[in-house]
Amino acid sequence: MPTTPIGAAPYPAGPDSDNVPADLMELAVWASTRVVMRFADAAARDAALTAPEAGMVAWLATPGSLTIRTASAWRTIWSSLTWTDIALGSSYTAYGTTPQAALDGGNFIVLRGGVQRSTPSTQIAGNSVIGTIPSSFGTPLSGDYPVATQWLDQVNGRLYVASGSREITYIGQNTAWFSLNGVRIPLA
């Protein structure tokens, strides 16, 4: 059966035998692997697609993510976020929104919320370990990540995240609070 020049869709030609059901089946199989396929989860996808090809796209109802097949593996393009509270040290509490972390696309840990001292009149000192990223997210890439602080024109704050311990350390001048919103930490 010949195929179209763009997309290689199969179609019956003059010399082919007349078999409408078989022709439609071949076209349907071709089309179903070139649209967003839907599966209950990754196990159902992997069971149905025993020989996946690069470029296939699949929606997984659980956990609610869009995946694409590369030459060698399925990668998450987008996933709904499930937020988990960050374990803060006993001297710290939430400032506004509870400090939380989520795994974004299987490639980044994203943070949100704010942190202040448990005694609000006391400032957060530079080089203070304020909490820990949950171990369920994997190993974060060790490094510095900028954060917003109480006085942006006077305080240049950042977080240092340690890979092994997953500890979050505030680095910078003393401040009453800082925000975790917008911090994206790649996985190691």
Reported as a single tens digit per residue, the pLDDT across 56-84 is 999 999 888 899 999 999 998 888 888 99
- Residues 102, 81 contacting (CB under 8 angstroms): yes
Cα–Cα distances (Å) from 161 to 37, 102, 134, 175, in that order, read 38, 15, 12, 19
What pLDDT is attached to residue 170?
A: 95
pLDDT, mean of residues 37-52 = 94
In 3D space, the residue among 106, 94, 104 whose CA is nearest the CA of residue 178 turns out to be: 94
pTM: 0.65
User: What DSSP designation does 140 have?
Assistant: B
Residue in the block written with tokens 């505030």:
170
Mean pLDDT of all residues in 167-178: 92
Query: In terms of residues, how long is the chain?
Result: 188
CA dihedral 21, 27, 32, 33 (to 10 degrees): 140
Cα separation, 182 vs 188, in Å, equals 19
Residue 12, pLDDT score: 85
